[in-house]
């Protein structure tokens, strides 16, 4: 199978873990041997495996499913790093995501996720007034 | 100079070109030998150098400056690829950006930019109703 297909499969696996609120699967999807970063919609960046996994635990808390699916995934491969840009379709609207994968111990694992809105959005307050998560 | 400093310098150069609406400098900042991708706030992903540069031309059109500066830049290096996550402070609010750099012909060049809001935002319409840019 080509790297392209494997990377898109890893991206699908991320959304499968997300939509089924499967924390164990989510833990397996993220990279272990490098610093990871996650930017949930509207949140400040979260760095490091413990903090990122904890953020998913909070998102999944009390839910068995999360209404999300991925659309229009397009990959760019830079050697042992790959970017997937895709749309995230949720019940309340849609987002655009950048998902970065690294080839770690012969597996493509997620090292960075950034999701933000598609379409117009209300600007957030200035830095001095904002709450950083 | 360490790669970390050089990468953060490349990130600063991106915001210098952005804030001075310097299209020539912006053209020099983006990678040439790989597919590039740019996700402006609220926009769908733009792929390819011509389309990405054209989007900056539109953003800069008729302006001599753009009120933006970068804050809290943090880098993660994956060999010849590096991620910088940072805040973008604008007059009307602030954003979070993911900037991806590739080491191309001995220069760290931007291969992906994704900016989205920090703080709450209004969800965009569903995929079927959205206009893709």
Average pLDDT score, chain A: 91
For residue A119, pLDDT beyond 70? yes
CATH no., domain A3-118? 3.10.450.50
Residue of chain A whose Cα is closest to the Cα of B126: A93
Q: Cα separation of A117 and A95, whole Å? A: 4
Question: Are A124 and B125 inside 8 Å of each other by CB?
Answer: no
Window B:44-83, CB contacts with A under 8 Å: 44-45, 47, 71, 74, 76, 78-81, 83
Among A94, A77, A79, residue whose Cα is nearest residue A11: A77
Q: Is the dihedral of CA A49, A52, A58, A64 positive or negative?
A: negative
In chain A, where the domains are located: 3-118
Choosing among 3.10.450.50, 3.30.70.920, 3.40.50.300, 3.30.360.10, the CATH entry for B3-119 is: 3.10.450.50
Helix (H, G, I), strand (E, B) or coil at B54: helix
Percent of chain B with pLDDT over 70: 89
Buried b / exposed e across B16-41, counting CB within 10 Å, b at 16+? bbbeebbeeebeebbbeebbbbbbbb
Question: Are A87 and B127 inside 8 Å of each other by CB?
Answer: yes
Q: Cα separation of A88 and A69, whole Å? A: 6
Set of chain B residues whose Cβ sits within 8 Å of the Cβ of A112: 76, 83, 85, 98
Q: Cα separation of B29 and B107, whole Å? A: 9
For residue B121, pLDDT beyond 70? no
- pLDDT single digits (tens) B68-103: 999 999 999 999 999 999 999 998 889 999 999 999
Mutate which: A76, A90, A99, A101, vs B, most B CBs within 10 A: A76
Interchain contact B100–A (C-beta under 8 A) = yes
Among B39, B49, B79, residue whose Cα is nearest residue A104: B79
């Amino acid at each position: 199978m080509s790297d392209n297909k494997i990377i898109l499969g890893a991206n699908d696996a991320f959304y499968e873990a997300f939509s089924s609120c499967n924390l164990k699967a989510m833990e397996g999807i993220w990279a272990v041997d490098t610093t990871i970063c996650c930017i949930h919609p509207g949140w400040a960046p979260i760095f490091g495996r413990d903090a990122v996994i904890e953020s998913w635990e909070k998102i999944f808390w009390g839910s068995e499913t999360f209404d999300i699916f991925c659309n229009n995934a397009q990959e760019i491969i830079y050697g042992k790093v790959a970017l997937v840009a895709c749309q995230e379709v949720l019940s309340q609207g849609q987002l655009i995501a950048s998902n970065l994968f690294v080839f770690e111990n012969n597996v493509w694992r997620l090292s960075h996720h950034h999701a933000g809105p598609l379409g117009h959005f209300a600007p957030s307050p200035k830095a001095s007034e904002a709450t950083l998560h």
